């Protein structure tokens, strides 16, 4: 069942603005509304523990009262900051067009919130890195893999800089998740009018050629004129090269604006995005990645 709603997750990181721009781009093309969530961690809630027992250790009641006041003040400031983040997110998304936006401030665990609310949306958009990771290239958002594993919806991982998507690269191995990715692209208005390339990384075989031909036929039925490509080599290297930023210079195969691939499976390309190579691929990829279950 579809909801015609996109779920966008924002925090205080530099990636949140990109999340909002990508959410607006997707929602405008699909005709969806957007629900923006900011989740306060449990550490941002006022402490509920009873500190009075510490008096027996020599602490003064005045100090305990100050600590309690500071805790309440910190929780209040976190709440106000969350509201400000949501207000900014609403302004960015609404500024991109006639898009209905709702905002939600929640307390607790981010992944638990997503699991509880994902049925109210058709796709989830999250930044590649969260607030705690900062801009360090060696770190990814701590919740990213947990959300991909927990969610049954497509997860769109936004990179830091937004640019309108024109060329889509589909990582294909003939498995169930990559077939669903092809079918999703063929049916979704999000991808209408975009250039689509389907790539298989590995050794060319008759079975691979047939699978690519079937994928291309599905896309043609959806109104696309897809290109199919077989490239020898490790999937992560092939995909990284084909999504590399060429700086506007013509370069065969490179310059795709979005990578779409399955999140699970047994072959190398399908396990690529969950596991040791997953982290490296998302870390090094300079374009957003959409993961399909």
- Most confidently predicted of 18-22, 49-53, 245-249, 267-271: 18-22
Topology of the domain covering 167-292: Rossmann fold (3.40.50)
Structure confidence at residue 139 (pLDDT): 41
pLDDT at residue 134 greater than cutoff 60:
no
Tell me how far apart the alpha carbons of residues 238 and 201 are, in angstroms, rounded to a whole number: 7
- In this predicted structure, the answer to whether residue 83 has a pLDDT above a threshold of 50 is yes
Q: Is the pLDDT of residue 58 over 50?
A: yes
CATH topology match: 5-43+79-158 vs 167-292: yes
Query: 22, 158 in Cβ contact below 8 A?
Result: yes
Hey, where are the domains in the chain? 5-43+79-158, 167-292
| Superfamily of 5-43+79-158 according to CATH | HUPs (3.40.50.620)
Of the given ranges (63-67, 223-227, 259-263), which has the lowest mean pLDDT?
A: 63-67
Find out whether 238 and 249 touch, Cβ atoms under 8 Å.
no
Closest to 43 measured CA to CA, from 80, 78, 12: 78
Segment 199-232, tens digit of pLDDT: 999 999 999 999 999 999 999 999 999 999 999 9
Both tokens assigned to 119: 């049925």
Pairing mode, strands 123-127 and 5-9: parallel
Please, what is the average pLDDT of the chain? Answer: 83
Strands 227-231 and 258-262: unpaired
Residue range 139-148, pLDDT digits in tens: 445 677 788 7
* Both structure tokens of 133: 């990771």
* Percent of the residues in the chain that have a pLDDT greater than 90, as a whole number: 48
Does position 196 have pLDDT exceeding 70, yes or no?
yes
What pLDDT does 265 receive? 45
Average of pLDDT values for 112-117?
89
């Amino acid at each position: 069942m579809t909801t015609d709603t996109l779920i966008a997750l924002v925090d205080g990181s530099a990636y949140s603005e990109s999340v909002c721009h990508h959410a607006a781009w997707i929602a405008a093309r699909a005709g969806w509304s957007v629900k923006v969530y900011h989740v306060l961690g449990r550490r941002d809630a006022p402490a509920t523990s009873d500190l009075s027992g510490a008096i027996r250790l020599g602490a003064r009641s005045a100090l305990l009262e100050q600590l309690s006041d500071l805790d309440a003040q910190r929780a209040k400031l976190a709440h106000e900051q969350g509201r400000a983040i949501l207000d900014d997110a609403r302004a960015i998304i609404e500024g991109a067009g006639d898009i209905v936006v709702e905002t939600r401030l929640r307390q607790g665990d981010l992944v638990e919130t997503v699991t509880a609310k994902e049925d109210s949306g058709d796709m989830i958009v999250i930044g590649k890195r969260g607030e705690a990771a900062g801009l360090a290239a060696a770190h990814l958002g701590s919740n990213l893999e947990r959300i991909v594993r927990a969610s049954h919806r497509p997860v769109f991982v936004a990179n830091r800089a937004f640019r309108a998507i024109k060329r889509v690269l589909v990582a294909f191995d003939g498995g169930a998740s990559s077939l669903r990715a092809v079918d999703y692209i063929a049916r979704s208005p999000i991808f209408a009018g975009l250039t689509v390339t389907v790539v298989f990384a590995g050794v060319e075989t008759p079975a691979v050629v047939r699978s690519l031909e079937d994928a291309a036929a599905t896309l043609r039925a959806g109104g696309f004129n897809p290109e199919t490509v077989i490239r020898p080599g490790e999937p992560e290297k092939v995909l990284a090269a084909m999504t590399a930023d060429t700086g506007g210079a013509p370069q065969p195969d490179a310059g795709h604006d979005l990578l779409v691939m399955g999140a699970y499976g047994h072959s190398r390309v399908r396990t690529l995005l969950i596991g040791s190579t997953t982290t490296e691929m998302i870390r090094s990829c300079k374009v957003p990645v959409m993961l399909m279950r």
